[in-house]
Amino acid sequence: MTNRIRWGRVVGLAFALEAALFAALVPIQSLLSLKVWFAAVAFGCAIFGYIAGRLAARGLKAGAVLNGLLVGVLATIIYIVLCMLGPGGLPAAVAIYGAPLYISLNGLRIVGCTLGAVHGKARETRALGGPQ
């Protein structure tokens, strides 16, 4: 079986993931301490990424995990580009988080999307009577 990349779904979900993270996290930033806000960002990247990955895998018999991974990678690229366009550019964004946390949170988005796709594919395979 060949891997099938649904580029429209991948691109749409990547933009939707970043929009959801922005909409959920930016409004609460001023209400929380920086440490608590970073925890919320980590939670948001993992959970919203997982949901995007599940949606990316939906209905695919082959390539589900690849589609989930691509959503996470593209969403991360979108975020990095937005950081580059912001005041102070990428160095300012990295300075706020610190390099290890910045890299970890971006990795968490990719892992969340990939795991969502893995879980979505496994669940769909079981529902169709495939191997368990």
Is 83 part of any domain?
Answer: yes
Greatest pairwise CA separation for the chain in angstroms: 53
Contact 17, 52 (CB under 8 A): yes
Is 1 part of any domain?
Answer: no
Q: How many residues does the chain have?
A: 132
Is 97 part of any domain?
Answer: yes
Q: pLDDT digit string (tens) for 7-55?
A: 999 999 999 999 999 999 999 999 999 999 999 999 999 999 999 999 9
The total of structural domains in the chain comes to 1
Long-range contacts of 123-127 (CB under 8 A, 24+ apart): 124/57, 124/58, 124/59, 124/64
Is 2 part of any domain?
Answer: no
Which band of pLDDT confidence, cut at 50, 70 and 90, is reported for residue 120? confident
Is 132 part of any domain?
Answer: no
CA distances 5 to 10, 52, 68, 70, 120, Å, are: 8, 15, 10, 9, 16
Q: What residue numbers bound the domain in which 25 lies?
A: 7-127
Q: pLDDT digit string (tens) for 83-101?
A: 999 999 999 999 999 999 9
Is 94 part of any domain?
Answer: yes
- Residue 68 region by backbone torsions, left for phi larger than 0, else alpha for psi between -120 and 50, else beta: alpha
- Measured distance CA(85)–CA(93) in Å, rounded: 10
- Measured distance CA(42)–CA(40) in Å, rounded: 5
Is 26 part of any domain?
Answer: yes
